[in-house]
Amino acid sequence: MAAPGNRGVPEWERKTRVFLCIFGFVLSIYALHVELSRERDPDYRAMCDLAESVSCSKVFTSRWGRGFGLVQFFVGKDSVLNQPNSILGIIFYTLQLALGLSVSKRAAVFLVLSSWVSVAGSIYLASVLVLVLGDFCMVCVSTYVINFALLFTNLKRRRGLEGAKHKSA
């Protein structure tokens, strides 16, 4: 484990980040697979479709499954900018993993800010899931938990860098 004053990333953080980002990335790839499979075959049944009210494919193919249900109002439903939320997840988890390798203050600020955005998106989509769709999506809820855990990890990183700066001053 790296010492607090060391320029390296603590072992717990590295392992946690790798696990969370890979798990989030895999879930995002699976979500994209389910959405594309369902678009090709309306009778497709995903492993996460357990009941009428426990269905991830129902959520992924809803209007909120693309661009958070909001982008279509600005650029149109069929715009190239109105991508599946899972594409945004793939990008987010890739950036979190890559930037997590850097111990720079700038990277830490971006990690925290992007995590806050992902948590805000998670809260918004969880609200839609419960209040609008009346559904439970195991894949969605898992990504919400991952996003909160990444925020916690990133806040610890930021605090650790600030603490190291104050000790060296």
Closest CA to 64 of 21, 148, 117, 127: 127
Question: Top-level CATH class of 11-168?
Answer: mainly alpha
At residue 6 the predicted structure's pLDDT band, cuts being 50, 70 and 90, is very low
pLDDT in tens, 56-100: 999 999 999 999 999 999 998 889 999 999 999 999 999 999 999
pTM for the whole structure: 0.87
- Domain ranges in the chain? 11-168
Contact (Cβ atoms closer than 8 angstroms) between residue 162 and residue 169: no
pLDDT in tens, 139-154: 999 999 999 999 999 9
Token pair recorded at residue 146: 């991952």
Token pair recorded at residue 125: 């989509």
